[in-house]
């Protein structure tokens, strides 16, 4: 059973940990990011972007999704700053925003598969 058998508060530890917690707005941003990454279509897009920047057409083929569906998912990922864009003429390429996103996804893949992200 996961209940305290004896009610006691370790005040020094509680105060120290409470002071180290991120601000509430940062907790909410983190929760939103994890929510976005919990969708299989978005996660497939993000894992594809681990290997290369790609356009909507490429992601559509790789993810076996319509271009409209990919665009919709990319909008969510872009709003959360998980992906960013680069324009080359008429083509918009998507990539992971930074090394933190890459590390988060790679570490998560290593956790579930025990084999890392292969990049």
Q: Quick check: helix, strand or coil at residue 81?
A: coil
- Say which CATH number the domain at 49 has: 1.10.10.10
| Domain around 87 | 24-113
Quote the CA–CA distance of 56 and 63 in Å, as a whole number.
Answer: 10
In a domain, 16, yes or no: no
Question: Closest Cα partner for 57 from 83, 102, 95, 92?
Answer: 92
How do residues 93-115 score in pLDDT, each as one tens digit?
A: 999 999 999 999 999 989 988 77
How do residues 15-65 score in pLDDT, each as one tens digit?
A: 999 999 999 999 999 999 999 999 999 999 999 999 999 999 999 999 999
Token digits of residue 53: 């920047």
Mean pLDDT of 54-78: 97
Residues 6+ apart with CB under 8 A from 62: 44, 48, 54
Q: Provide the domain count of the chain.
A: 1
Quote the CA–CA distance of 37 and 45 in Å, as a whole number.
Answer: 10
In a domain, 3, yes or no: no
In a domain, 97, yes or no: yes
In a domain, 4, yes or no: no
In a domain, 98, yes or no: yes
pLDDT of residue 6: 79
pLDDT of 119 over the 90 cut:
no
């Amino acid at each position: 059973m996961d209940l305290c058998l004896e009610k006691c508060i370790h005040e020094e530890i509680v105060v120290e940990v409470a002071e180290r917690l991120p601000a509430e707005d940062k907790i909410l941003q983190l929760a939103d990011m994890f929510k976005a990454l919990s969708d299989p279509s978005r996660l497939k897009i993000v894992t594809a972007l681990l290997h290369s920047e790609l356009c909507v057409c490429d992601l559509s083929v790789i993810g076996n999704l319509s271009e409209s569906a990919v665009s919709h998912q990319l909008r969510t990922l872009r709003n959360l700053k998980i992906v960013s864009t680069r324009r080359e003429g008429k083509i918009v390429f998507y990539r992971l925003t930074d090394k933190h996103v890459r590390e988060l996804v790679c570490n998560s893949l290593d956790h579930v598969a025990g084999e890392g992200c292969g990049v």
